Amino acid sequence: MKRTRKNRSLGNCVKLWLHPRRMKVLACGQTQMYCLAVVICMVIGFTMQILFSQQRILPVYQDVVRFSTWSAEEQEVPSDMKTCQPKEHIMFLKTHKTASSTILNILHRYGDHHNLTFALPIRYQFGYPYLFHSRRVKGFSPDRKQNYHILCHHMRFNLLEVNKVMPKDSFFFSIIRDPVTMAESSFTYYKNASPAFKKVPSFEVFVDNPLMYYNPNKMNNHYARNMLSFDFGFDHNAQFNTTYAKRIVSNVERTFQLILFSEYFDESLVLLKEALCWELDDMVAFKLNFRSKDSVHTLSPQTVEKLKEWNALDWYLYMHFNRTFWQKVEQFGWERMREEVLQLQKKQQELMKECLQGDKPVEANNIQDDSIRPFQYGQAKILGWVLKPDLDPLVKERCKRIITPELQYKDMLNVKQFPLSKHSVNPGSGTKLLLNQTVLLAGKEQGKHDSEMQTRLSQVNQDSNDQPNKAMR
Ligand SMILES: *[C@@H]1O[C@H](CO)[C@@H](O)[C@H](O)[C@H]1NC(C)=O
Ligand SMILES: *[C@@H]1O[C@H](CO)[C@@H](O)[C@H](O)[C@H]1NC(C)=O
Ligand SMILES: *[C@@H]1O[C@H](CO)[C@@H](O)[C@H](O)[C@H]1NC(C)=O
Ligand SMILES: *[C@@H]1O[C@H](CO)[C@@H](O)[C@H](O)[C@H]1NC(C)=O
């Protein structure tokens, strides 16, 4: 009995509250007390909502751990004084051999820290070298709207399908590199994956007469010609003419708000920070997935010229965005850029001192911990980092994330986002598996992937019997 009356009075109160002339609330007689209670609750509710939503908007670091060496005056302008809102809908086209792994680590950590949702590939790439398709996103369904924040793993870009997955206000960016040095890097890395490279005794021999070894119809020959144009989704075998090159450029320009450069990596990070409205601290990273100097070739001027010609579409793209990149720096301000780059480098050095054993990277096979050993592939000696041995557990956790290679980090995010699902690889041997999974970057068809994965999985499981995996937590 009492209960119904109470409910009715509450109903009246709410009606009154919603009524334009709210003053009437005061005149609701018997029910006044309930009214008052409801009003107070609502006020508290609104206040909490406002407070909570502000907390979402402002990227306040809630880390317990602050790196001791970051002194107060080095801190940036507090984020609550910024007029922009940090962008959290991000599409990063991860190109090959362009320092994109380091960018990926930045995105991984930011998203992880802020509990953002990644659109993850079912395995390690989105069906590369095939064009991206939304069905490759783990858990994606066209009928059920999901709010993905970040799409950043290897793909061949396909705007229509990307748009099905990512929100309309997503920030698109990518990174490119001089096609000449990139071609040399690609040769070392994909020597055995690309048919064009396989039978060539040396890079110079290939460059002297590429058409002798290059068959445009062969799978994985995009590693040998115009790899950037290919990754952006264009025809990398098209005969060069300015009409087509301009079309590529204007397409990329229309879709991507920012194109970064591996050659100007720190300046790129500053521009990215600005465009995303993030903090400089979010951009502090260590170089990941890079080669030791002794597997880098120096090229003769003739070779350089031949490579520009052979990769003419990429060269055009590169030259165009090199111009627009420096225009953006000009708009940002040269002096400000210089200062922020110095600040970033200083933060990076301090973090290295805090986290790392020695100031030099080491070869992958000298890294014992599977969870931080970089994936070794091709003829390049890929380097990685070693953590200081006795770090405070919280510092260690954060340091470890900075040097966690992309494949292992992707596995961690997968476990975080799909805690209950069966993983495509057995988590117990996951890292072991991927370190050995040479098919991975060779980019064969998905079907072949499965059977090869199976074979390798059994080999790996045998391996891991005597060397238990400590990677997955
Ligand atoms: C992210 O999620 C974890 C676990 O649910 C929580 O402890 C943490 O506070 C969250 N972080 C942010 C920034 O929301
Ligand atoms: C330029 O190249 C594109 C792609 O190969 C081709 O379709 C087009 O006909 C060419 N245009 C000219 C003017 O040669
Ligand atoms: C890119 O632009 C910078 C600044 O204008 C210039 O110094 C550099 O030579 C350009 N790079 C290439 C490869 O042309
Ligand atoms: C991959 O597996 C082979 C044996 O199957 C092993 O000898 C090799 O060390 C492994 N590579 C890495 C990087 O773990």
> What are the tens digits of pLDDT across the range 238-279?
999 999 999 999 999 999 999 999 999 999 999 999 999 999
Chain Cα centroid distance, residue 437: 21
Phi, psi (rounded to 5 degrees) for 387: -80, 155
Question: What is the predicted pLDDT for the residue at 361?
Answer: 81
Give the mean model confidence (pLDDT) for residues 283-293. Answer: 80
Whether 114 is in the pocket of ligand 1, judged by its Cβ within 6 Å, is: yes
- Ligand number with the minimum distance to the CA of 405: 4
Residue nearest ligand 4's atom 13 by CA = 435
Question: What is the predicted pLDDT for the residue at 55?
Answer: 39
How many angstroms does the Cα of residue 208 sit away from the middle of ligand 1? 55
- Ligand number with the minimum distance to the CA of 182: 3
3-state secondary structure of 272: helix
Question: What is the predicted pLDDT for the residue at 321?
Answer: 98
pTM: 0.74
Whether 438 is in the pocket of ligand 4, judged by its Cβ within 6 Å, is: no
Residue nearest ligand 4's atom 8 by CA = 436
Whether 419 is in the pocket of ligand 1, judged by its Cβ within 6 Å, is: no
CATH of 88-417, one of 1.10.3470, 3.40.30, 1.10.1660, 3.40.50: 3.40.50
Q: Which residue among 237, 240, 243 has the greatest number of ligand 2 atoms within 8 angstroms of its CB, and so is best to mutate?
A: 243
Lowest mean pLDDT among 72-81, 141-150, 380-389: 72-81
- What is the Rg, in whole angstroms, of the alpha carbon atoms belonging to the chain? 26
Q: Could you tell me the residue ranges of all domains in the chain? A: 2-57, 88-417
Residue 306 tokens, joined: 């031949």
Amino acid at 166: M
How many angstroms does the Cα of residue 171 sit away from the middle of ligand 4? 39
Question: What is the predicted pLDDT for the residue at 298?
Answer: 86
Question: What is the predicted pLDDT for the residue at 59?
Answer: 34
68 or 387, which is more confident: 387
Atom of ligand 2 lying closest to residue 243 CA? 1
Summarised one tens digit per residue, pLDDT across range 69-80 is: 333 444 455 555
Whether 115 is in the pocket of ligand 1, judged by its Cβ within 6 Å, is: yes
Rounded Cα distance between 244 and 251, Å, is: 11
How many angstroms does the Cα of residue 472 sit away from the middle of ligand 3? 44
Give the mean model confidence (pLDDT) for residues 364-370. Answer: 77
Cβ neighbours of residue 251 closer than 8 Å, sequence gap 6 or more: 232, 234
Question: Is 184:378 a contact under the CB 8 Å cutoff?
Answer: no
